Amino acid sequence: MAAELGHVPSQSEVFLRTHTRKKDRGKFVDARSEKQIEHHKAEIKRLEDERAARIATGEPAGPPIDEDEVWDSIAGGRKRGPVYEKGKVPKRPAPRLVDPEDASTCSGPDAREHITLLDREIQQ
C-alpha cells in the first residue's frame, strides 16, 4: 500500500482500504465503517478550522494536526496491534539534554551548572 500511495499510509487510509469492497472501491462493507470515516473527516475539518481561526487572530497555530492521533481518539476502544507496512515510527527523537561524553564528567553541582549553560544557549 505504501508503494501505491508514495508514502506511509495513515491509519484512516488503511481503514478505508480494508473496509471498502474490492470490486466497488467506493462502497463500504457496512454503515458503521462509513460512519467511522465520516466522523474522522469531520473531526479533522473541525481541527483545521480551529487552527485557521487561531492563525487569523494572530495566535500561534500550534503543532500540525496529526491524523493518526485524531484517528486514535475517534476509534478508541481496544487497541488492535501494529498496522502492517506502517510500523512504529517515533514522532521525533527524544531530546538530548547532555552530550553523552560530558555526562560521565558531570555530576551533582557540575551537571546543574552545565544544564544552566545549555538553557542559556537555547534562550539566545
User: Would you state the pLDDT for residue 85?
Assistant: 47
User: Would you state the pLDDT for residue 38?
Assistant: 92
Q: Across residues 40-54, what is the average pLDDT?
A: 92
Sort residue 62 into left (φ over 0), alpha (ψ -120 to 50) or beta.
left
CA 27 to chain centre: 28
Domain boundaries along the sequence of the chain = 2-93, 95-124
116 close to 33: Cβ distance less than 8 angstroms: no
* pLDDT tens digits, one per residue of 1-10: 777 778 888 8
* Amino acid at residue number 121: E
Report CA-CA distances (Å) from 21 to 17, 39, 73, 79, 95: 8, 20, 25, 24, 44
Q: How far apart are CA 115 and CA 98, in angstroms?
A: 7
User: Would you state the pLDDT for residue 48?
Assistant: 93
- β partners of residue 20: 28
